[in-house]
Chains A and B, each alone.
Chain A
Amino acid sequence: MNKTLEHKFISDLEENQNIVHKVCRIYTNNKEAHNDLFQEISIQLWKAYPKFRGDSKFSTWMYRVALNTAITLYRKSKRTIKTQDFESVLYRIESIDYDDSEEKQLKLLYKAIHQLSDIDKALVLLYLEDKSYKDISEMMGITEVNARVKMNRVKTKLKNILNP
């Protein structure tokens, strides 16, 4: 693939890398796994880039490829699944002022998210990113009604894990 395309892609990726980091944060629970998934998503984005036609926003397209990689293409290593540390959660907490109970709740929330299935994790991410049901249904290939039903279920599931 030619150099101009590569430069353009790297600029786009650099600008929007937050999206990839966020997907990694939802799907992994330690730095090593985060970097691993970040690498695989970046490779898949680059592979798919020539086919990106600009009929959707670059960021929407990135969500789609990144989530597809996390749900479908990424091969989790056993080591990753067993690790139970939550570095990715801890790296931000120091810089924002939360009271103790909020911080505790957040830790519990992130822990609860990590217990969800691959599909549910995608839904949580899209909820947090305020994506419309139309976007969600297009990204996942399901109907809007189904997206809505699934979203309500995952919210209830999270609440149930937190308030047993």
Chain B
Amino acid sequence: MDQLELLKKDWKNQDKIIPKLSKEELSKIIHRKSSSIVKWIFIISILELLIPITLSLCSRKLRATDEIEKLGLTNFMNIFYGMVFLVVLFFIVKFYKNYKAISANSSTKILIQKIIKTRKTVKYYIWFNLALIPIITVVLVYQTLHSPEIIAKNLDNLSILTIWVLSLIIMAIVVGVFWLFYQLIYGILLKRLTKNYNELINNEINLQNI
């Protein structure tokens, strides 16, 4: 007999011997906690959404507002924070909507697409936060170098250049470390999903052309 036919015959026979769980047992099972990957993705994403907000709130408290005022950046900072707040709000709403759309009722392809989309929102959010670091650095360094106190010190061009270069290097390292760390989390969380998704859709494009 063909091996696959043998397998099918055996498969059909197992119906009689599969252990049956009682209604009570099933009722207990469905009330246990899920440990699905979507739940983990949700928890980690929420943490990722919250961390930059918390950091910026803390740094705002720590940073002497006097200093900002001295640098003449109060207005800039207020507008800046207002805009950032709106963007963050947009990301959170988008993330929540994507998350809500995830349903095991969908086809496998759509389900994976939705999960990846949810993570992508968080990815763009992280990029947005990382992009803020250079903007803030450049504005702060520029304003500091043009503040009356520094101008009074009459720095030569070389010192100014050194300050710029050092600040930018430190900034690049900070952004780089955050980016690498994030790539790691992103990769680990989505590795299996992406692999399954690619396997599922491969051929799809080629076949459409036949």
Q: Is the interface of B mostly helix, strand, loop or mixed?
A: helix
> How large, as a class, is the contact surface on chain A?
35 or more
- B16 → A minimal CB distance (Å): 8
Count residues of B near A (Cβ-Cβ below 8 Å): 53
CB pair B108 A18 closer than 8 Å:
no
Rounded to whole angstroms, the CA-CA distance of A105 and B9 in the bound complex is: 13
A133 in contact (CB, < 8 A): no
CB pair B3 A65 closer than 8 Å:
no
CB pair B34 A43 closer than 8 Å:
yes
CB pair B23 A10 closer than 8 Å:
yes
CB pair A44 B36 closer than 8 Å:
yes
**Interface residue from B19, B20, B30 paired with A46 (Cβ < 8 Å):** B30
Q: Is the interface of A mostly helix, strand, loop or mixed?
A: helix
Q: In this complex, what residue of A is CB-closest to B4? A: A155
Within 8 Å CB of A46, what residues of B? 30
Rounded to whole angstroms, the CA-CA distance of A128 and B8 in the bound complex is: 5
CB pair B21 A72 closer than 8 Å:
no
Interface-located stretch among B124-132, B148-156, B194-202: B194-202
CB pair A162 B36 closer than 8 Å:
no
Within 8 Å CB of B13, what residues of A? 92, 96
**Interface residue from B6, B20, B22, B35 paired with A105 (Cβ < 8 Å):** B6
Within 8 Å CB of A48, what residues of B? 103-105
Q: List 27 A-B contacts (CB under 8 A).
A: A6-B30, A10-B30, A13-B26, A13-B30, A21-B19, A40-B34, A42-B26, A43-B34, A43-B36, A46-B30, A68-B111, A72-B108, A75-B35, A96-B10, A98-B10, A109-B7, A118-B196, A118-B199, A122-B108, A138-B107, A139-B107, A140-B108, A141-B106, A141-B111, A143-B204, A146-B203, A162-B3
| A-binding residues in B (CB < 8 A) | 3-4, 6-8, 10-11, 13-23, 26-27, 29-30, 32-38, 40, 103-112, 115, 192-193, 195-196, 199-201, 203-204, 207-208, 210
Q: A64-B104, A71-B196, A105-B3 are in contact. List 14 more A-B contacts (CB 8 A).
A: A11-B23, A14-B20, A18-B18, A43-B34, A67-B108, A72-B196, A73-B36, A75-B37, A92-B14, A127-B4, A141-B200, A142-B200, A149-B207, A158-B4
